[in-house]
Amino acid sequence: MQIRLDQEIQSPNRKKSRILWKPPQSMATRVLLPQFNSTFTNTTIFLSLNPRLPTTTRSRFSVLSMAESNRTTVLVTGAGGRTGQIVYKKLKERSGEYIARGLVRTEESKEKIGGDDDVLIGDIRNVDSVVPAVEGVDAVVILTSAVPKMKPGFDPSKGGRPEFYFEEGSYPEQVDWEGQKNQIDAAKAAGVKQIVLVGSMGGTNLNHPLNSLGNGNILVWKRKAEQYLADSGIPYTIIRAGGLQDKEGGVRELLVGKDDELLETETRTIARPDVAEVCIQALQFEEAKFKAFDLASKPEGSGTPTKDFKSLFSHVTTRF
């Protein structure tokens, strides 16, 4: 629930330009002024008016007080991506608990996910474009990744395997290492309280076929970013997903593992909506913090669909 108060205050006199205002309840309160947007955790707010303004000048402001103090502002990066957009949408659907924000790379990606003002455009390779996105957020869900492209000319009817490449400047080193590092650094500087990072299973094997894709060593760079996050001091959750599938979520039993052990089994895939759900659930439970784990699921119809995420996270014993 959200209560919006519109108030007008008048500077009492020119010399005394500080106005003390007590919100009605003890709660975090957000004050919105045209050039000012801060969160106060005290019950008292000081508003400074320009003493040179005439005493009759009124400063209009709005106060959003409420359950906002209980809501978590979450930035999803890669919010236009296939898993990122599910996380962003789920957060929007749970607006009683979350204030969603997205970071996408292009205007097209922004339009694709609805074009709302809470979606910022930025390139994670440039830390300056990440800084405004992390400002004032409580948690960041990192779903950015270098995306390999298929070389033209592949004809499936002739058999063989397609070849892949990364565009110049968009290799995993630049996106999955430097880009992730930029996000972690910016989040840390902004006082973000938790980072959920989605990585990939396979990182324990340097010779994993994904590393030779486009000569990008993608799992190596992802792993390096994961290590950087784990060493950052920020409470983190690293989710190393199995093969991602565009299937319905919430209908399978999820499995957590470590050190790529799940890759040796038959259960090494997971639906994107399930990964998205785990990202959000990780924000709710202390049991998910300072942990890194592999994530897959049983096939639909075998096992019991996972509902108890606290228990799922409790089964994770690995910090990295």
Ligand X SMILES: NC(=O)c1ccc[n+]([C@@H]2O[C@H](COP(=O)([O-])OP(=O)(O)OC[C@H]3O[C@@H](n4cnc5c(N)ncnc54)[C@H](OP(=O)(O)O)[C@@H]3O)[C@@H](O)[C@H]2O)c1
Residues at the contact surface with ligand X, assessed by CB under 6 A: 78, 80-84, 105-106, 109, 123-125, 143-145, 147, 175, 179, 198, 200, 241, 243-244, 272
Number of Cβ atoms within 10 Å of the Cβ of 247: 15
Smallest gap, in angstroms, from Cβ of residue 121 to ligand X?
Answer: 9
Burial pattern 176-206, b for ≥16 Cβ within 10 A else e, equals: bbbbbbbbbbbbeebebebbbbbbbbbbeee
Instruction: List the one residue out of 136, 132, 224 whose CA is nearest residue 180.
Output: 224
**124/195 with CB nearer ligand X:** 124
User: Cβ distance 69 to 44 under 8 Å?
Assistant: no
**81/214 with CB nearer ligand X:** 81
**Torsional class of 26: left (φ above 0), alpha (ψ -120 to 50), beta (otherwise):** beta
Question: Among all chains, which residue has been given the structure tokens 């959750």?
Answer: 237
Q: Active site residue: 200, 212, 232, 314, which one?
A: 200
Please measure the distance between the N-terminal and C-terminal CA atoms of the chain and give it in whole angstroms: 38
Q: Is 267 helix (H, G, I), strand (E, B) or coil?
A: coil
Smallest gap, in angstroms, from Cβ of residue 80 to ligand X?
Answer: 4
User: In what order do the strands lie in the sheet containing 2-10?
Assistant: 2-10, 58-66, 29-33, 36-40
**Residue 200 is among the residues annotated as catalytic for this protein:** yes
Smallest gap, in angstroms, from Cβ of residue 179 to ligand X?
Answer: 5
d(CA 257, CA 224): 19
Tokens of 309: 């995420």
d(CA 30, CA 41): 9
**66/279 with CB nearer ligand X:** 279
Residue nearest to ligand X (CB): 81
Nearest-10 crossing angle of helices 218-230, 180-189: 10
Smallest gap, in angstroms, from Cβ of residue 176 to ligand X?
Answer: 7
**120/283 with CB nearer ligand X:** 120
Smallest gap, in angstroms, from Cβ of residue 84 to ligand X?
Answer: 6
Helices (H), the chain: 84-93, 107-112, 127-134, 172, 180-189, 209-212, 218-230, 272-281, 309-314
Smallest gap, in angstroms, from Cβ of residue 17 to ligand X?
Answer: 43
**66/80 with CB nearer ligand X:** 80
Question: Among all chains, which residue has been given the structure tokens 């007008």?
Answer: 8
**89/272 with CB nearer ligand X:** 272
Catalytic residue numbers read: 200
